[in-house]
Amino acid sequence: MTPRTKGRFILLPMLLCVCLTLCSCGSNESAEKPSAASSDTVAKDSSPATTAAAGSRDNTPVVLTGSADGTVTYGNDSVTVDASHTEEGYLMVSYSGSNSKVKLQITGSDEITYTYNLHDGYETFPLTSGSGSYTVGVFENIEGTSYSTLFTQAIDVTIQDEFGPYLYANQYVNFSADSKVISKAMELSASANDDLEVIENVYNYIITNFTYDYDKAASVQSGYLPDVDDVLASQTGICFDYAAVMASMLRCERIPTRLEVGYMGDVYHAWISTYIKDKGWVNGIIEFDGNDWKLMDPTFASTSSDPKDFLTQTDEYITKYVY
């Protein structure tokens, strides 16, 4: 990665939970459903509001949302697991029963189990363990924290595009061709000449315009999922909101972006990392000061007049889950 601009900021991981008392991320409830009928949709929106010259990069947004075609399905009277597009790196699952608390678990060949809440209709879930055998289970609540098994299925997956799970919308990074974040991404990327400049423009927009919602952080419930358009409109939110908006914008610009959850030291966090051509997956917010690349915390970058006060080290980030 060749530095070209002094003072350039590049978004790579986005801290979702600064600390447990500051930003409670929660698990997964109340997410909007991705469309089950659209895929590979080119966003249609007005031209960018900026007057900057168009960049040499093709910055036309391409919005990838899951499609439940019914070509390959598993299930029973209450559950349908649509595996028609596992080669693209995702499953779609629909629950049509009457239980109000339903869990989905997906375990890949790396033996990491991802647990989600299911809602009415199809939702999209990434296959982030790569190619291999997956076990999919759906569980209905009995009482309290007790659940009974409703359905299980083993599915063999061969992913053709390793970046697929990090380009499609899913339950955590939930957007569509009509989302306002997509038209904003088109505006912000219009002048970019390469992926790095797209990332820079999105990052600088967020830290310049968004403010941290401390009241929301103190009251957010377990299972919270961001509505990216609401966050964009209010220009405020918790760190989870920041990251979901950024991930949506970067994915629609064909920049693979992972939403990662884990720990920074002993504090629970989430962040994003992006794939840079000829560089690979890059984890960390990087600032080039004219001489060196340095890691910094982007959440604090939006709330502090001196973001350098919050420099951290990459080896302190421990990833548990990737979405």
- pLDDT tens digits, one per residue of 112-143: 999 999 998 999 999 999 999 999 999 999 99
Confidence of residue 51 (pLDDT cuts 50, 70, 90): low
Whether 298 shows a pLDDT value over 80: the answer reads no
Q: What is the mean pLDDT of residues 20-41?
A: 38
Q: What are the tokens at 242?
A: 């920041």
CA distances from residue 69 to 37, 178, 301, 323 in whole angstroms, order as listed: 8, 21, 43, 22
Q: What is the mean pLDDT of residues 40-65?
A: 70
Q: Which carries the bigger pLDDT value, residue 223 or residue 148?
A: 148
By the 8 A CB rule, do 33 and 125 touch?
no
Whether 191 shows a pLDDT value over 80: the answer reads yes
Whether 303 shows a pLDDT value over 90: the answer reads no
What is the per-residue pLDDT for 302?
Answer: 52
**Residue among 32, 27, 22, 33 at smallest CA distance from 221:** 27
What is the per-residue pLDDT for 304?
Answer: 53
Whether 228 shows a pLDDT value over 60: the answer reads yes
What is the per-residue pLDDT for 52?
Answer: 66
Distance in angstroms (rounded) separating the CA atoms of residues 242 and 207: 9
Whether 315 shows a pLDDT value over 60: the answer reads no
Domains of the chain: 8-32+174-322 (3.10.620), 73-166 (2.60.40.10)
Q: What is the mean pLDDT of residues 26-34?
A: 36
Confidence of residue 47 (pLDDT cuts 50, 70, 90): very low
Mean per-residue pLDDT over the chain, rounded: 79
Q: Which carries the bigger pLDDT value, residue 22 or residue 235?
A: 235
**What are 237-284's pLDDT values in tens digits?**
887 888 889 999 999 999 999 888 777 677 667 678 888 887 777 765
Distance in angstroms (rounded) separating the CA atoms of residues 288 and 309: 15
